[in-house]
Amino acid sequence: MSGDLIIPDAAQGVVLFAHGSGSGRLSPRNRYVAEVLNRAGLGTLLFDLLTSEEEADRANVFDIGLLADRLLRRTGWVREQTDLPIGYFGASTGAAAALWAAAEPDNAVAAIVSRGGRPDLAGKRLAAVRAPTLLIVGGRDPIVIKLNEDAQRRLRAETKITVVPGATHLFEEPGALEAVAEHAGDWFATHFAGPGAPLR
């Protein structure tokens, strides 16, 4: 499956993007966030979790175990390319896949950011996540705020919820996506440079 890997000079780490249902590596929202992270000195990998044929079956779009397995495979590939710390940026159902993958015992992930995510779909695996996790939600997305608050109580790692005022689920409002990118960049930069880095 296709992917776009960018690692700036002197990068602090590499962020793998796990997109949500009905989205992919060409998502303008994820590509915008990736560009901001690149300018901040962070590497990024944008890739498709499913083939176009697989996406036609809606069951695959919500198969969190399948999506997490694809993410784990790409994580292994990135680790063959670099020793830099690895982080996950997940949106919608992709956030659940990122948390599911991060819960694997032998998968050391330095940090996770969820944008409008469904961390609740990671189920019992939430308690096994060790990576510091930032949950970004829109202030006008009350159902997802509640789901993220419930997930936060089940996460045992360092966890923070950041609410972007006035934003809805897709963060399409003026300045909303910019806020997401800023919060994500700060979270990754802080934890890529934190105790024990680099993580492999």
Distances in whole angstroms, Cα of residue 107 to Cα of each of 99, 104, 131, 153: 11, 5, 10, 22
Beta bridge partners of 5: 45
Mind spelling out the 3-state secondary structure of 47-77? ECCCCHHHHCCHHHHCCHHHHHHHHHHHHHH
pLDDT confidence of residue 195: 53
Task: Print pLDDT tens along the chain (200 aa).
Answer: 578 999 999 999 999 999 876 666 778 888 999 999 999 999 999 998 887 788 778 788 789 999 999 999 999 999 999 999 999 999 999 999 999 999 999 999 999 999 999 999 999 999 999 999 999 999 999 999 999 999 999 999 999 999 999 999 999 999 999 999 999 999 999 999 865 444 43
**Is residue 140 left, alpha or beta, with left meaning phi > 0 and alpha meaning psi from -120 to 50?**
alpha
**What superfamily does domain 3-192 belong to in CATH?**
Alpha/Beta hydrolase fold, catalytic domain (3.40.50.1820)
Beta bridge partners of 186: none
Its pTM stands at: 0.93
Going by C-alpha positions, the residue among 122, 125, 114 that lies closest to residue 97 is 122
